[in-house]
DNA sequence: TTGTAAGCGTTATCAT
DNA sequence: ATGATAACGCTTACAA
């Protein structure tokens, strides 16, 4: 800057004003600066600007390291952040649960704070996030937007699929298909995605006379084929409608049913719930609910930027994106 | 820092030394500083450190916005960067080809330069990268590692799958399966991944007497089913071995062959090349070559950090990761 | 419309 | 083992 100022014959301040944009410069001065800066390929130093202004433009994004579905969420986030002149500082958490992952999240948040990020978008490892590391975030008033999995113990903005409504719709679809003896395959109560879908499903079932349901609880979202198979062993046709809270579970169930020669959808209707965003419309062959990850990402980014600008402490925002029912032939018409 | 220094009764410099690590502090002083810093939840400001030292620790990573396969590359990059105390500044390019994408890359690189990144890991939009924007990188001596697609016109470190060796192996597999009349389905010469696989394939075919090949050139890596179908229309069994340079192309070909009632692998052996990293081992049902995206990412990150540390201008590095042949039943035993 | 002076949070350098 | 001072590249506040 000094060099440009000298070359043009003005003070550094005038050059600074030129790059800040909003100043009143004489047209000729501005043009001279532009030319000289161009000649020197000068680029303003945003790190310094960040330091001076307290606004780094950096948003920390913390996701699980197997991106899968979150790859599309991430694309939505990055696109929106970049549009508005902000930056995506990406951190990935390896491992899904347990104290190690929480420890890792904690280290990550410290790194981000040291970089003076202006906000964090986080897919939490689990719901047990009353943990220490939020004190860091809270005490510094760093805006936090949580996606996909809700936190029980910390009030933060949330953006994600409307899992409860999805669960309700799932029940309605199966019942509309004529199913009356329903099976709910869930995936552990400590993950809100599973819990909310299950809750919505059960609530809807209860609202219908003559419809019953049982619940098979699986430890995670893996196929769990053996467990499902064991459960169906005695009487594979005990149910005429099955809802699995995740597509991968649904896949496990599909294989178990096929192995037992159950005809789908004639004897049993099977319904999954999409977490399988394979990018190019690749899906498992099970009727399911498509989520809208890019939309979730965009909303999360908008949300965090609003928080970062207005320092007003309005009450937490809850933005739910509906899932879309997508028939793929495993539910009776 | 000033506040901590005052509280402990030392100068800022002593506190600074404590956090820089390497200084000789009296144990009691160090402990006092530690305690006071803890109490105040002090976190050093890395933006300022970056400004002072010229080392921001930021690495710009530029990938296509449909991450897919690159999601795993990204995980490898991020893991390695974080291990060594660096940060991943992610930028995504929307759209695959054409001047718009190049324009976007150019804007992105300017943003990154303003953030004083210490290196760039880039999956280029195409091979026409003699374009303006590299002047920015070159004139500032910003280390650049290119992944997956090689650049013709710019000497940079390259990390990616050994596509040529893969193409050779593909030919060998088909020939070993007894195929003699081969079809090569390629995807445009301006993308090195396709060009290299094709070149390896052809070179290997030429080394075998009595083996012939034809080439069908497709515009991109999409299924291109109609085009392939049209090509096979006259005589679907004209070939007894087909190599598609991408799995999605192979999928298009598979559908075309099935529609024409060609028995696979009895009448025709079909071989793809993996670009379908769906994370959890989900793959299309075509014998193919698996790539190792996480490894590519890790190598790219190592490479960029080495460049960023040593400012020595050694000659460009070329790191090729072999693809692994993975039979899935579409090539005769 | 432009300039001067001071300072942001930290470290390099020299001194004690 | 610790301190004083200047400096990094830029902006804010005030002055002209």
Of residues A153 and B198, the one with the higher pLDDT is B198
| Confidence at residue A169, expressed as pLDDT on a 0 to 100 scale | 98
Q: Which helix (H) or strand (E) holds A172?
A: helix A163-176
- Is the CB of residue A117 less than 8 Å from the CB of residue A59? yes
| Confidence at residue B328, expressed as pLDDT on a 0 to 100 scale | 92
Nearest to B147 by CA among B101, B87, B193, B190: B193
Secondary structure (H, E, C), chain B: CHHHHHHHCCCHHHHHHHHHCCCCCCHHHHHHHHHHHHHHCCCCCHHHHHHHHCCCCEEEEEEECCCCHHHHHHHHHHHHHHHCCCEEEEEEECCCCHHHHHHHHHHHHHHHHHCCCCEEEECCCCCCCCCCHHHHHHHCCCCEEEECCCCCCCCCEEEEECHHHHHHHHHHHHHHCCCCEEEEEECCCCCHHHHHHHHHHHHHHHCCCCCEEEEEECCCCCCCHHHHHHHHCCCCCCCCEEEECCHHHHHHHHHHHHHCCCCCCCCCEEECCCCCCCCCCCCCCCCEEECCHHHHHHHHHHHHHHHHHCCCCCCCCEEEECCEEECCCCCCC
Q: Does residue A241 register a pLDDT over 80?
A: yes
Q: Does residue A311 register a pLDDT over 70?
A: no
Peptide bond before B36: cis, by omega within 30 degrees of 0? no
Q: Which helix (H) or strand (E) holds A61?
A: strand A58-64
Q: Does residue B100 register a pLDDT over 90?
A: no
Rg (CA), chain A: 26
What are the φ and ψ backbone dihedral angles of B102, each rounded to 5 degrees?
-65, -40
Answer whether A46 touches B (CB < 8 Å). Answer: yes
What are the distances in angstroms from CA B59 to CA B53, B247, B281, B302? 16, 31, 29, 11
- Is the CB of residue A248 less than 8 Å from the CB of residue A231? no
- Is the CB of residue B244 less than 8 Å from the CB of residue B221? no
Q: Which residue of A has its CA nearest to B59?
A: A89
Residue A131 contacts strand D, CB under 7 A: no
Task: Report residue B50's pLDDT band, with 50, 70 and 90 as the boundaries.
Answer: very high
| Confidence at residue A314, expressed as pLDDT on a 0 to 100 scale | 74
Of residues A31 and B133, the one with the higher pLDDT is A31
HSE-up of residue B224 (Cα within 13 Å, Cβ side): 24
| Confidence at residue B276, expressed as pLDDT on a 0 to 100 scale | 66
Average pLDDT over chain B reads 90
The 10s digit of each residue's pLDDT in A10-21 is 999 999 999 988
Pairwise CA distance, residues B158 & B317, whole Å: 6
Rg (CA), chain B: 26
* Most confidently modeled range among A3-17, A140-154, B198-212: B198-212
- Give residue B161's Cα distance to chain centre: 8
* Average pLDDT rounded to a whole number, residues B4-18: 91
| Confidence at residue B24, expressed as pLDDT on a 0 to 100 scale | 79
Of residues A94 and B229, the one with the higher pLDDT is B229
Residues 35-64 of B with CB under 7 A from strand C: 44-45, 48-49, 51-53
Lowest average pLDDT, out of A266-275, A280-289, B62-71, B185-194, goes to A280-289
| Confidence at residue B243, expressed as pLDDT on a 0 to 100 scale | 98
B91 and A78 in contact by Cβ < 8 A? yes
Answer whether B48 touches A (CB < 8 Å). Answer: yes
Task: Provide the 3-class DSSP secondary structure of residue A239.
Answer: coil
The 10s digit of each residue's pLDDT in A267-299 is 999 999 986 644 444 567 899 999 999 999 999
Q: Is A216 left (phi over 0), alpha (psi -120 to 50) or beta?
A: beta
Average pLDDT over chain A reads 90
| Confidence at residue B268, expressed as pLDDT on a 0 to 100 scale | 96
B65 and A43 in contact by Cβ < 8 A? no
* Average pLDDT rounded to a whole number, residues A121-139: 77
Nearest to A272 by CA among A195, A207, A191, A185: A185
Q: Does residue A127 register a pLDDT over 70?
A: no
Task: Provide the 3-class DSSP secondary structure of residue A121.
Answer: strand
Task: Provide the 3-class DSSP secondary structure of residue A176.
Answer: helix
Q: Does residue B28 register a pLDDT over 70?
A: yes
Task: Report residue B102's pLDDT band, with 50, 70 and 90 as the boundaries.
Answer: confident
Task: Provide the 3-class DSSP secondary structure of residue A270.
Answer: strand
Name every chain A residue with its beta carbon within 8 A of the beta carbon of B282.
278, 282
Peptide bond before B265: cis, by omega within 30 degrees of 0? yes
Q: Is the dihedral of CA A215, A219, A221, A226 positive or negative?
A: negative
- Is the CB of residue A270 less than 8 Å from the CB of residue A250? yes
Report the 10 Å Cβ neighbour count for A302: 19
| Nearest nt to the B10 alpha carbon by C1' | D2
Task: Provide the 3-class DSSP secondary structure of residue A92.
Answer: strand
Name every chain A residue with its beta carbon within 8 A of the beta carbon of B278.
68, 278, 282
* Average pLDDT rounded to a whole number, residues A190-198: 91
* Cα–Cα–Cα angle for B67, B70, B76, rounded to 5 degrees: 135
| Nearest nt to the B8 alpha carbon by C1' | D2
Lowest average pLDDT, out of A72-81, A132-141, B279-288, goes to B279-288
Place of tokens 């400590």: A190
| Confidence at residue B283, expressed as pLDDT on a 0 to 100 scale | 60
The 10s digit of each residue's pLDDT in B220-235 is 888 899 999 999 998 9
Pairwise CA distance, residues A129 & A108, whole Å: 14
Pairwise CA distance, residues A75 & B64, whole Å: 9
Of residues A42 and A23, the one with the higher pLDDT is A42
| Confidence at residue A279, expressed as pLDDT on a 0 to 100 scale | 43
Q: Which two tokens stand for residue A126?
A: 């689990």
Residue B66 contacts strand C, CB under 7 A: no
Q: Which of A82, A90, A248 has the CB atom closest to B78's CB atom?
A: A90
Task: Report residue A130's pLDDT band, with 50, 70 and 90 as the boundaries.
Answer: low
The torsion defined by the Cα of B128, B132, B133 and B137, in degrees rounded to 10, comes to 110
Q: Which residue of B has its CA nearest to A279?
A: B68
How many angstroms separate the CA of A49 from the C1' of D6?
A: 21
Q: Does residue B281 register a pLDDT over 60?
A: no
What are the distances in angstroms from CA B29 to CA A170, B8, B36? 64, 8, 11
Q: How many residues does chain B have?
A: 333
Q: Which two tokens stand for residue B273?
A: 């090349």
pTM (predicted TM-score): 0.92
Of residues B311 and A264, the one with the higher pLDDT is A264
HSE-up of residue B261 (Cα within 13 Å, Cβ side): 0
| Confidence at residue A280, expressed as pLDDT on a 0 to 100 scale | 45
Q: Which helix (H) or strand (E) holds A133?
A: helix A133-139
Q: Does residue B280 register a pLDDT over 50?
A: no
Q: Which helix (H) or strand (E) holds A203?
A: helix A192-206
* Average pLDDT rounded to a whole number, residues A173-196: 94
Q: Which two tokens stand for residue A99?
A: 């104290």
The 10s digit of each residue's pLDDT in B148-172 is 988 877 788 999 999 999 999 999 9
Q: Which of B51, B71, B88 has the CB atom closest to A67's CB atom?
A: B71
Q: Which percentage of chain A shows pLDDT scores above 70?
A: 93
Answer whether B86 touches A (CB < 8 Å). Answer: no
Pairwise CA distance, residues B174 & B181, whole Å: 10
Q: Which pairing describes strands B119-122 and B144-147: parallel, antiparallel, or unpaired?
A: parallel
* Average pLDDT rounded to a whole number, residues B295-321: 89
């Amino acid at each position: 800057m000094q060099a440009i100022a000298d070359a043009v014959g003005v003070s550094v301040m005038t050059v600074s004003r030129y790059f800040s944009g909003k100043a009143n410069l004489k047209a000729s001065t501005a043009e001279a600066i532009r030319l000289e800066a161009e000649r020197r390929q000068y680029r303003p130093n945003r790190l310094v600007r960040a330091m001076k202004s307290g606004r780094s433009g950096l948003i920390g994004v913390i996701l699980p390291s197997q991106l899968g579905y979150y790859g599309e969420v991430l694309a939505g986030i990055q696109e929106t952040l970049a549009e508005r002149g902000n930056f995506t500082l990406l951190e990935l958490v390896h491992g899904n649960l347990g104290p190690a992952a929480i420890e890792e999240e904690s280290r990550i948040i410290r790194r981000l704070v040291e970089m003076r990020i202006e906000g964090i978008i986080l897919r939490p490892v689990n719901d047990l996030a009353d943990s220490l590391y939020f004190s860091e975030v809270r005490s510094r008033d760093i805006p936090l937007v949580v996606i996909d999995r809700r936190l029980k113990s910390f009030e933060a903005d949330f953006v994600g699929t409307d899992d409860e409504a999805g669960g309700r719709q799932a029940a309605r679809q199966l019942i509309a298909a004529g199913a009356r003896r329903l099976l709910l395959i869930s995936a552990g109560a400590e993950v809100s995605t599973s819990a909310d879908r299950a809750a919505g499903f059960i609530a809807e079932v209860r609202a219908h006379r003559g419809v019953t349901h049982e619940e098979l609880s699986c430890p995670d979202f893996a196929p769990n084929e053996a467990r499902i198979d064991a459960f169906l062993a005695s009487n594979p046709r005990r149910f005429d409608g099955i809802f699995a809270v995740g597509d991968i579970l649904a896949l496990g169930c599909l294989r178990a049913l096929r192995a037992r020669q159950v005809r789908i959808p004639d004897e049993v209707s099977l319904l999954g719930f999409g977490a399988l965003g394979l990018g190019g419309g690749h899906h498992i062959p099970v009727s399911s609910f498509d989520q809208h990850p890019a939309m979730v990402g965009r909303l999360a980014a908008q949300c965090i930027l609003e928080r970062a600008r207005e320092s007003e402490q309005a009450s937490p925002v809850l933005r739910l994106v509906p899932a879309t029912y997508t028939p793929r032939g495993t539910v009776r018409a």
